[in-house]
Amino acid sequence: MFDVGFAEIFLLAIIGLLVLGPERLPGVARTLGAFIRKARMSWISLRNTIESEMAEADLSKPIKKASEELKQIGRELSETPVFKPESKKAVQEVTDSASASAAQPGPETDGGKSENV
């Protein structure tokens, strides 16, 4: 930033005293001080806002990445045959036929007519 030392400030005070006079110099100095204070506070506020936005952006990157990964997994799952509506019908038919065959006696069993020896 600006490197303003005592010599520069003293020189500006002497020039201000000569130009403005002793009556108006304190008022001008007070106004100039208030302006510098406001400018400094505005700069600090802007810097804090930028830093917080950058910190928020750094935190949101992993969240967005995880969200995209989950969406991709969801797309892959929806594309698998198990989750398609046509596949659900096929699965239902298989389960219906399996339950129907379980209800009918097969060639291995004699319908519950076996004798205990």
Beta-sheet strands, E only, within 1-117: none
Cα-based distances in Å from 77 to 39, 58, 86, 88, 100: 56, 30, 15, 14, 30
- Largest Cα–Cα separation, the chain: 131
Q: Please give the pLDDT value at position 43.
A: 94
Show the tokens assigned to 17.
Answer: 């005293």
Q: Tens digit of pLDDT per residue, the chain (117 long)? A: 567 788 988 898 899 888 888 888 889 889 989 999 999 999 999 999 998 888 887 777 788 888 888 888 888 877 776 655 566 666 667 667 665 555 555 454 455 555 554
Indicate yes or no: pTM above 0.95.
no
Q: Which amino acid is at 89?
A: K
Alpha carbon distance 46, 51 (integer Å):
9
